[in-house]
Amino acid sequence: MPRTADHDQRRRQIADAVCTLISGHGLDAVTVARTAATAGMSVGLVQHYFRSKDEMLLHAFQEVTARIRARAEDRIRAGIEHRQPISWVLAGALAEFVPLDERRRTEFRVTTAFAGRALDAPALAEVDVATARRLREDIARAVHNGKECGEVDPGLDPWPAAVRLAAVTEGLAMQVHRDPAGMNGVPAAELTASIIRAELAVVFTGECRQYAGMSGS
Amino acid sequence: MPRTADHDQRRRQIADAVCTLISGHGLDAVTVARTAATAGMSVGLVQHYFRSKDEMLLHAFQEVTARIRARAEDRIRAGIEHRQPISWVLAGALAEFVPLDERRRTEFRVTTAFAGRALDAPALAEVDVATARRLREDIARAVHNGKECGEVDPGLDPWPAAVRLAAVTEGLAMQVHRDPAGMNGVPAAELTASIIRAELAVVFTGECRQYAGMSGS
DNA sequence: CGGATAACCATATGGCCATACGGTTTTTAC
DNA sequence: GTAAAAACCGTATGGCCATATGGTTATCCG
């Protein structure tokens, strides 16, 4: 009987506006009024879809992390279809987190801003922790699968390796964020590629003798 | 002729209050009034020492980064005096940045909060960038000195190695921050030590045949 | 002693923001 | 066609905050 609208689409629209504002002027510049204006709607409508500002921010955070994760998974799926070695696929997926172009830069700014606020906002912190854990699990699974393909030494424990790879990726993202032009004459993209490659070479020591696979437990 | 007070001490006192507030309740909880109360003084006095809130925050950020750096340098100096291998000394210095105890946890929270705000505060960003650059320079110098001691292959370029070591350290700090208890049954301290050790082993491949030294260009 | 100067204080002010609230419009079911 | 429910709007309100301002107090020099 009632008038109807696409709830999820509206909420995504608002989340987009939040991200635009954060990326452009920082998390402190995000007010409900400004978000509504950016999204092209009224303050009241934003309130209609989110009980409070905190709820709105939480949803935006979940939205952006989900989007990044989806991109990484797409890359992995594509790599598998093209029968690339796992280490290649993983290198590409990890590079998704390093702010090397405008899109990734925007995402990095948004997630970093949220991570900063997560320091004293348990709901945001939970998203942050869960996201990081999932990434580690994905990496560990890739390493595990690498064993079956002969790319990884069967005796290697995937977990410390996953923590390590997640750490370099995240740290590298910070470095590139601070010096987008690169360091000591080396462009950021090359630096990133070489460091990730080197780091993966420590784990993926064997040749690939099967096609790549990332799925399965 | 005038009444006199220790300017720098007062400013440090205020910076301490800011850090206490950030660590306890986040950067958003830092107001001039609350800072004054925490520092045990009036709002007017804080204004007397800082023209604006931004100036106050900037000084607090500089203060805390300087303090952390001083601690790392102390560690290095002590290591040199005890004739430890450079890789040992460096391992200890890098571990200073990982939030493994309450003091480091507090510092990590404060610097991370500032790093988040630095996304749209050029003055803070400058401090952040400069701090990171200095750390890389210190690491690169250590690697360079490692060559003269025979711990490092003379053909190795210290710069990518320094970026890489800085990246793992920073990334590891994030991981430990999110999972202070450790991951997959491995305590955070052990995980940290083993990863830093492994990472350093890639660079410091030789035996130490001289006493350690970190100074010099 | 006196006055200049810095240290220090309490309050006023003006702006911004999250949220509350009362309303109008549109759709659909019957 | 009408009633109900949701979509949507604009404004009011109350709180909080940075900063401005007009003071008082202590110290020291001459």
φ and ψ at A41, to 5 degrees?
-145, 180
Q: Do B115 and A117 touch (CB under 8 A)?
A: no
Nearest chain A residue (CA) to B128: A178
Class assignment of domain A1-50? Answer: mainly alpha
CA A71, CA A76: separation in Å to the nearest integer? 9
Tell which strand C nucleotides have any atom below 7 Å from a protein Cβ.
3-11, 16-23, 25-29
pLDDT at B71: 93
In this structure, what are the phi and psi dihedrals at residue A209, rounded to the nearest 5 degrees? -115, 0
pLDDT for the residue A171: 98
Residue A207: which pLDDT band, with cuts at 50, 70 and 90?
confident
CA-CA-CA-CA torsion sign (B195, B198, B203, B204) = positive
The predicted pLDDT at position B210 comes to 56
Å from the A31 CA to the C15 C1': 15
Segment B170-186 mean pLDDT? 97
Q: Residue A137 has which token pair?
A: 């699990």
Q: Which of B71, B41, B72 is nearest to B56 (CA)?
A: B41
User: Is residue B131 a contact partner of residue B66, using CB atoms and an 8 Å limit?
Assistant: no
Closest approach of A173 to chain B, Cα-based (Å): 8
Mean pLDDT of chain A: 94
Q: B216 pLDDT band (50/70/90 cuts)?
A: very low
Question: Per-residue pLDDT for A30 more than 90?
Answer: yes
| Interatomic CA–C1' length for residue A8 and nucleotide D3, angstroms | 28
Q: Which one-letter amino acid corresponds to residue B203?
A: V
- The pair of structure tokens assigned to A68 is 């990044």
Phi, then psi, of B84 in degrees rounded to 5: -80, 155
Q: What is the pLDDT of residues B79-121, one digit of tens each?
A: 889 999 999 999 999 999 999 999 999 999 999 999 999 999 9
- Per-residue CA distances from B31 to B18, B53, B120 (Å): 9, 8, 19
Does A175 contact B169 at a Cβ distance shorter than 8 Å? Answer: no
Instruction: Provide the sign of the torsion angle of the four alpha carbons A165, A168, A169, A171, taken in this order.
Output: positive
What whole-number distance in Å separates Cα of residue B179 and Cα of residue A133? 9
Among residues of chain B, what percentage have pLDDT more than 90? 88
* The pLDDT of residue B212 is above 70: no
What pLDDT, in 10s, does the model give residues B33-78?
Answer: 999 999 999 999 999 999 999 999 999 999 999 999 999 999 989 9
Question: pLDDT tens digits for A56-115?
Answer: 999 999 999 999 999 999 998 998 899 999 999 999 999 999 999 999 999 999 999 999
Q: Which chain B residues touch A178 with a CB distance below 8 Å?
A: 125, 128-129, 132
Count of Cβ atoms closer than 10 Å to residue B12 Cβ? 15
Average the pLDDT over each of A14-23, A51-60, B203-212 and give the range with the smallest value.
B203-212
Could you tell me the distance in Å between the CA of residue A4 and the C1' of nucleotide D13? Answer: 31
Q: How far apart are CA B16 and CA B24, in angstroms?
A: 12
Spatial separation of the C-alpha atoms in residues A30 and A35, rounded to whole Å: 6
Q: B213: distance to nearest CA of chain A, Å?
A: 24
Q: Which has more confidence, A217 or B144? A: B144
pLDDT band, very low/low/confident/very high, at A213 (cuts 50, 70, 90): very low
Q: Is the pLDDT of residue A209 over 80?
A: no
Average pLDDT, chain B: 93
Distance CA B30, CA B55 (A): 13
pLDDT band per the 50, 70, 90 thresholds, residue B4: confident
The closest alpha carbon to A115, from A31, A166, A174, belongs to A174
Report the gap between the CA of B176 and the closest CA in chain A (Å).
10
Site from B168, B192, B200 to mutate, A interface, most A CB atoms within 10 angstroms: B168
Residues of chain A with Cβ-Cβ distance to B132 below 8 Å are 174-175, 178
Q: Cβ atoms within 10 A of the Cβ of A210, count?
A: 13
Mutant choice from B109, B131, B178, B194 vs A, greatest count of A C-beta within 10 A: B178
Q: Count of residues for chain A?
A: 217
Asked if B196 and B95 count as a contact pair (C-beta separation under 8 A), the reply is yes
pLDDT of residue B208: 75
Dist. CA A104–CA A102, nearest whole Å: 6
Cα(B214)–Cα(B84) distance, integer angstroms: 11
- Cβ neighbourhood burial of B122 (10 Å; 0-12, 13-18, 19+): exposed
B178 with A202: Cβ contact below 8 A: no
Over range A195-210, report the average pLDDT. 88
Q: Is CATH 3.60.150.10 what the domain over A69-203 is classified as, yes or no?
A: no
Q: For position B217, what pLDDT does the model report?
A: 40
Q: Which two tokens stand for residue B96?
A: 């200073």
Domain spans in chain A, listed from the N-terminal domain onward: 1-50, 69-203
Strand stretches in A27-129, DSSP E: none
Distance in Å from C2's C1' to B3's CA comes to: 16
Segment A138-185, tens digit of pLDDT: 999 999 999 988 999 999 999 999 999 999 999 999 999 999 999 999
pLDDT for the residue B105: 97
Provide DSSP, A180-197: TT-BTTB-HHHHHHHHHH
Which residues from chain A sit within 8 angstroms of residue B186, using beta carbons?
Answer: 159-160
Contact B23, B106 (CB under 8 A): yes
Which of B115, B133, B183 lies closest to A116 in CB terms? Answer: B115
**Closest partner CB to A128 (pick from B117, B178, B186):** B178
Q: What angle do CA B35, B40, B43 make, to 5 degrees?
A: 55
What span, in angstroms and rounded, lies between the C-alpha atoms of B111 and B173?
Answer: 12
Q: Which residue has the tokens 């490092």?
A: B152
A137: left (phi over 0), alpha (psi -120 to 50) or beta: alpha
Q: Taking the domain B66-203, which CATH number applies?
A: 1.10.357.10
pLDDT of the residue at A217: 41
Average of per-residue pLDDT across B151-172: 97
In whole angstroms, D15 C1' to B122 CA is 30
How is residue B70 written in tokens? 């001083």
Residue A210: which pLDDT band, with cuts at 50, 70 and 90? low
Interface test with A, best of B126, B129, B170 (most A CBs within 10 A): B170
How many A-B residue pairs are in contact by the CB < 8 A criterion?
A: 126
- By C1' distance from the Cα of A31, the closest nucleotide is C17
DSSP structure class, residue A56: H
